[in-house]
Chain A
């Protein structure tokens, strides 16, 4: 008994006392801004997207009820740690830098980071060519880290924004020359009327150290059991062909690398 009190007291003091351990209702932290086609709010106020469909399939598979908890992207890791929700499901790439602070599930999709710029036929996008140009990136993304490592030293100016949506808006306004972001979400932007300004320049050389191995669910370090559960769910969905089905429904076939059944 004394031990229990001591441990729970310690847990409290350390702030690692977790929400109800049975995960009766799992909350998924989703960045509150539009990130189509993965997560965005439609005009009826509902969250829709590839990732939302995946979430529903995953939660059905593991027998949980899941709900979306909106959160600011730039505070998403602290909010997870503060217990505001149980898992990050917001197209967060698994990389070493983040692994130091949170745990990840297996990857559930991966796509190429693409550089997009004004429609002018100039397809050269080597870091040297970007000298003197302005590149917009979303704060604390793998793309921001990549631009900082490869573009900034060659003389490009970086501008960081809270959301990719704002980057796109400024790219369309002509305030930026380029943005580096996830190819699939940029595709969505390029298809919109606003995106008429711009064209893809190409996928940048893949740096595994920065880009990591794809997107996974972000979890608290202590939630190993939840991690195992999610990983099993992801494997189940891969076996059942659910990933392909969702990807088909969002017309993304061939654009995403998906978990393979083994």
Chain B
């Protein structure tokens, strides 16, 4: 075991950790918002929007995230030269850093998985609660915002910690496109120093700490929420 490289790479690892957390936080928040829309499209949408939402969720859940990321980054990249004028006039789009593709791929992925869960949660809210809202004259939007969504959110909260950890566990894939996340930094050490185990073990420990932090964070939130559940 050799650890003398740690000081030299501390900055790179810290920056990588920041990128990993950025990817996690952005994709969870944006992905969740998208998931609510996907779920609503399935439980309340018309035939077409419900079908599209269902297809999207199946696609995300049925294919490896690695391939989704490659399709988004290299697939789309290979299309640029085919469209005349893009390279000259849409420089910013062509030059878009890989991190944006990563954020997009991870957001869509989280949305696909969480959309399915939110759909179940929306359907599990007792009809009576919604009818009560209607009876006191709430509009459809008010019912959604005040009753349906909060109720569904309470239901998914216990599973959400697991989902976020799942998302954290997929973030190392970001290094397969040119993004220097935590894994990317470890990978750099592996390349520069011809080491395998030490950098991997170090990031493994960091991931363990992050997992633990997410678990405790969520149980803290759960305790804050008033509930009549016996447990």
Contact = CB atoms under 8 A, between A and B. Distances in A.
B54 interface: no
A67 interface: no
A41 interface: no
Nearest to A134: B95
A1 interface: no
Interface string B93-105: 0110010000000
**What bracket does the count of chain B residues touching chain A fall in?**
10 to 19
Interface in A103-128: none
Interface stretch (B76-84, B115-123, B134-142, B212-220): B76-84
Contacts of A144: 191
A160 B176 CA distance: 10
Contacts, number: 47
Secondary structure call for the B interface: helix
Contact of A75 (B95, B176, B178, B196): B196
Interface residues of A, number: 24
Interface string B21-32: 000000000000
Contacts of A136: 178
Nearest to B90: A174
A161 B78 contact: no
A175 interface: yes
A160 B194 contact: no
- The 3 A-B residue pairs with the shortest CB-CB distance, nearest first, are A140-B191, A173-B77, A174-B94
13 contacts: A74-B190, A77-B194, A98-B194, A100-B194, A101-B194, A136-B178, A139-B187, A139-B188, A139-B191, A169-B74, A174-B80, A174-B94, A175-B94
